[in-house]
Amino acid sequence: MKTVTQNLLVFALVATVVHASNGGERKPYIVYMGEARGAGISTSDEHHNLLLAATGDESIAKNSKIYSYGKNINDEDSVVSVFANTRNRLHTTRSWDFLGMPQTAKRRLEIESNTIVGLLDTGIYVDAPSFNDEGYGPVPAKWKGKCVKGANFTGCNNKVIGARQFTTAVKLGNGMKATGISINTFSPKKETYPLIDGARASNSSGDHYGNISRNPSACDYGTLSMDKVKGKLVYCLGSNGQDYTIKELKGAGVITSLDAPTDTAFPTVIPGTSVQLKDGYRIDVYINSTRNPRAVIYKTRTAYMRAPSVASFSSRGPQLINLNILKVATPIKIKDVNAELGSGSGQINPLKAVHPGLVYDIPMSSYIRFLCKEGYNSTTISLLLGGKKKYRCSNFQPAQGTDGLNYPSMHAQLKSVESKISAVFYRTLTNVGYGNNSVYKATVTSPKDLSIKIVPNSLKFNRPHQKQSFKVFVEGGSMQNGTRILSALLEWSDSKHFVRSPIIIYNSSQ
């Protein structure tokens, strides 16, 4: 949000702040004012006060008729920098020009056709047309690597030949092992190395509890002592490029802890890896348990992971606004993001998604009924829908079922470990398939702890856009054995189309 606020300040002034040259030409300038103030003055008032201070004239400031004040603005305390608004062209929108290879250049196919291009990136859209291997022959014989599927990636083909995910293992002196993520190309030269955390390596210039800007526990720059770091592996809280700091202090390597799960690996300039928060805690406990902590960071290896899975940067449900709708929320709110909530409904087939057969349609009236069920009054609902019309809940049929919405997924939360599982979901499917007389049958896959009944379990559609309704009854005992999540799957199929809906019971009290 800070970046957005800063940019708004910049762009709000682009059209307003102009500079008059000797010839009277007006040119736009960008005034960068840093981070927006939290409260007390609106952005527009702050801009006006800046222009007023620069011009000294209320009328000129108000109408933006400014002649020359660039120097004056630079003198203002609230201004970080002022620079001319210039138009830049991206270099790589035409890669061949950027590389000095115009389309008129003489082609040498015998050389061009046997080239392997390698790159490191934290995120590439491999479904882009530029990665399509149409017209490509087999992988060159000189290629000694391999492409590994998994971790949300299945794009290996005759053009994308070397993509993979990388993990880096750590072994402590007590035998404990932790698997981190990084691109560590260094092989250990010793069996183990001395291990220290940032707090113990402090040069006393920072605060151990993070109450000021520099925190040695996070290995912030300038807070560590070279005498304490040299030749050792250093454990740091957070992951903010500490490998450069530890290298400068002649450390042997760095272990950082991640605030949230990730599937993105970064290269390090010294042996290094980033571990999950729970493993970081175990490392911290080990350091505090012995006078001579030691560890070793192994060279990165390729990871084989199941696919698909929800990317680490994606929010996941459930959240607290509505307990019975499965939707996005901050991962830190969930105790186990790697369970069913981390895999979604499976990997989509984009070709089959063009003709899904059936869809869960939600008209505007259904949303209004849902809001009424959630306790929103007529005034609030009217404001949410634009404020031009009054929507009274008494004019709509009450929403039915546990969640009250025709949602593809079905989700219910238990409020306590003693609560028994009892939920009913009302759903309506719309036929968007071609042809008539389609018969869809329901198939349920569920654990033994859940009893799921579909009524009716067969739906017949005689025409396009026809709607058919059904109910899903879910019953079960209480979840007192430590289980947090029970998941099942409902699939409607006419042998050509497969429409799947996850059914999840989540115990938020565990």
- pLDDT at 400 (0 to 100): 92
Q: Which of 452, 394, 429 is nearest to 500 (CA)?
A: 429
Domain boundary among 53, 84, 115: 84
How far, in Å, CA of 66 to CA of 16, rounded? 9
- pLDDT at 451 (0 to 100): 93
- pLDDT at 491 (0 to 100): 93
Please give the tally of structural domains in the chain: 4
Is 253 in the same domain as 368? no
Is 430 in the same domain as 489? yes
Within a domain: residue 321? no
How far, in Å, CA of 305 to CA of 263, rounded? 11
Most confident of 36-45, 81-90, 106-115, 284-293: 284-293
The answer to whether 29 touches 79, Cβ cutoff 8 Å, is no
Is 370 in the same domain as 355? no
Is 349 in the same domain as 376? no
Residue 347 has pLDDT above 60, yes or no: no
Is 351 in the same domain as 430? yes
Q: Give the tens place of pLDDT for each residue, 109-163.
A: 776 666 777 765 555 566 677 778 888 888 877 777 777 665 455 567 887 777 6
Check: pTM over 0.85? Answer yes or no.
no
Domain boundary among 302, 318, 341: 302
Q: Which two tokens stand for residue 317?
A: 């449900």
* Domain carrying residue 66: 2-84
Domain boundary among 302, 319, 339: 302
Residue scoring higher pLDDT (57 or 1): 57
Within a domain: residue 147? no
Q: Which two tokens stand for residue 206?
A: 């920072």
Average pLDDT over residues 310-322: 60
Is 354 in the same domain as 270? no
- pLDDT at 146 (0 to 100): 72
Q: How many CB atoms lie within 10 A of CB 465?
A: 9
Q: Which of 197, 245, 256, 257 is nearest to 221 (CA)?
A: 245
Within a domain: residue 273? yes
Among 161-170, 334-343, 399-408, 499-508, where is mean pLDDT lowest? 334-343
Among 229-238, 257-266, 370-379, 437-446, where is mean pLDDT lowest? 257-266
How far, in Å, CA of 398 to CA of 268, rounded? 58
How far, in Å, CA of 208 to CA of 218, rounded? 9
Residue 208 has pLDDT above 90, yes or no: no
Within a domain: residue 89? no
Within a domain: residue 426? yes
The answer to whether 242 touches 236, Cβ cutoff 8 Å, is yes
Is 351 in the same domain as 375? no
Is 277 in the same domain as 222? yes
As a whole number of angstroms, the longest Cα–Cα distance in the chain is 83
Within a domain: residue 119? no
- pLDDT at 510 (0 to 100): 58
133's CB contacts (< 8 A; 6+ apart) are 157, 158, 159, 160
CATH code for the domain of 230: 3.50.30.30
Q: Which of 23, 12, 21, 33 is nearest to 68 (CA)?
A: 21
CATH code for the domain of 345: 2.60.40.2310
Is 246 in the same domain as 195? yes
Average pLDDT over residues 356-384: 88
Is 338 in the same domain as 435? yes
Q: If you write DSSP's letter for every residue of 75-89 in order, what string do you get?
A: TSTT--EEEE-----
For residue 473, the SS3 value is: strand
Residue scoring higher pLDDT (167 or 218): 218
Within a domain: residue 421? yes
Radius of gyration from C-alpha coordinates of the chain: 30
Is 493 in the same domain as 378? no
Within a domain: residue 71? yes
Is 483 in the same domain as 342? yes
Q: Which two tokens stand for residue 73?
A: 């603005």
Looking at every residue in the chain, the average pLDDT score rounds to: 75
Average pLDDT over residues 360-375: 90
Q: Determine the residue type at 229.
A: V
